[in-house]
Amino acid sequence: MLTEQYGPLQKKMFQIMDETGAILSPDLVPDRSEEEWLQSYKLMLKTRSADNKALQLQRQGRMLTYAPNTGQEAAQVGSAAAMEKGDWLVPAFRELGAWLSRGVDLERVYLYWYGNELGSQFPEDVRMLPISVPIASQLQHAVGVAMASNIKGESDVTVAYVGDGGTSIGDFSEALNFAGVFNAPVVFIIQNNQYAISVSRQKQTKAETLVQKAVAAGIPGILVDGNDLMAMYAATKEAIERARRGEGPTLIEAYTYRLGAHTTSDDPTKYREDEEVETWRDKDPVKRMKAYLIGKGVWSEEEDAKLIEEYDEEALEVFRKVEASGETKLEDIFKYHFREMPPHLQEQYEEYVQYLEEVE
């Protein structure tokens, strides 16, 4: 078990691929074909293209505040690739690669950041909760979803994401504790990108690692190189299989880095040095996976450049469609909070309808 070799108290980081794309531990490479790794890489590229386009559009005043994902693609795509169709995804707000991996189309993503309520309405076959901005609150929801799977006798596993800042919130500790007590089939993934907005990870906690917080909850944990696609896939797959066997939750710390700002409202130059950022650029998950695939002869620089161009064009075309759809209809704000509109919202909605009739 990886959690025994690289557990919270072992003080070791699980890594399969180094920063150049070279394989360090051939015996630990997951059993996937080169084509499957290529498809995961393409999803990482699509994530970065969509991310870059969203930033450009927001700077043009055509999109609302946006949370960039650049630098964290492997942590997202690698973990999501280990999930099965029926598993549940419970996100925070910086999991673009996981959303796309799980079948959320880019139009839906852009609708959300555009401020349209339809951005939180997913197809019936996509098992994902809406984006959650209140820090760490989604983790308790994830435990509830996982416990429901147990109660219903289903084999589904819930995978929930949180940032490093979220581990300092009470909801994080409560969720881990509850999941452990009730043996919930849930995998918690910390995207440790080193900063909670402007607060560095070192100023958040005295804990040497974030994954060691699993010890207090009595559950397994593993520290993983979050920029290593293969390591993230392997660690998450083992944790999911463990949960599916009825052996309970696992905590994964994906050690990564946010290369961009916290959101488009943030200026990271005020709290971190350019030299630090450049050091992490050398660990870019996209760059190292591309090097691996080219080395294997299944990809090339020419194919890479062509695909990036296609993804860039696709992202712009998708947003133009979103932009043409118009602003959110006010009635949608009432309709999409609950499965059935509760009395207090029904009353407000009726007042709104009456107001419309009066002004017409």
Return the amino acid letter for 92: A
Give the Cα separation of 58 and 65 in Å (integer).
Answer: 7
Which are the catalytic amino acids? 258, 262, 271
Which of 27, 70, 82 lies closest to 229 in space, CA to CA? 82
**What is the CA 135 to chain-centroid distance, rounded?**
14
Residue 27: partners with Cβ closer than 8 Å, 6 or more residues away: none
